[in-house]
Chains A and B, each alone.
Chain A
């Protein structure tokens, strides 16, 4: 069975703390993504990685960085958490198909609250 696992379902952090969100997939997918989900805004792409050590900025990369040292793992880092980063974070992965039609497989999400 396809599996994308996010390390923490719920986190509470304080303003200024460094936060790591981890995502692991077991499907040998090339592409991995971090989205942020907010009510009324849908999903917004933060960063994506099309292969190991590769990364591209999405629509809202400010305040975030990522790391992909191994194919199965994609980490989202908040260098200094702020209250406006309180949100649901979703990780996804997919095979890189030539015509970009691949299905995204999502983790269950990490709900981050920054106090």
Chain B
């Protein structure tokens, strides 16, 4: 069975500081991993995804994530936070083929203060 754990339900950073949102996964088969973002009163949108090509994945709005198989992690980072990054972030895992489900983590709410 697959699962996702996001460490920290709330993260607060200063504007301009490094953003680090943690995601660890469990999967018995090679995973595909995703980060989605949800702005207030909106649905989710894709930030980036890992599908077994390059382990360092770049996404929209300056975010990137690195797949580390040895650590079963897919942490999301951004060098310099902006006020507009305040949102909830979800890590998700699935596996190749068929109609496999996308399993979401519990989410991390990012606050950015001046």
Q: Which residues of A contact B (CB under 8 A)?
A: 4, 31, 35, 40-45, 48, 50, 56, 58-59, 90, 92, 96, 98-101, 103-104, 106-109
Contact = CB atoms under 8 A, between A and B. Distances in A.
Interface of B: 4, 6, 9, 32, 36, 41-46, 49, 51, 90, 94-102, 104-107
A109 B43 contact: yes
Contacts of B45: 106
Contacts of B42: 108-109
B43 A108 contact: yes
A40 B106 contact: yes
A59 B46 CA distance: 22
Say what secondary structure dominates the interface of chain A: loop
Contacts of B98: 100
Nearest to B106: A42
B46 to A, nearest CB: 5
Say what secondary structure dominates the interface of chain B: loop
Contacts of B107: 42
12 contacts: A41-B106, A42-B90, A90-B44, A92-B43, A99-B96, A100-B98, A101-B51, A101-B96, A106-B43, A108-B41, A108-B42, A108-B43
Contact of A100 (B32, B43, B90, B104): B32
B101 A40 contact: no
A104 B46 CA distance: 7
B111 to A, nearest CB: 15
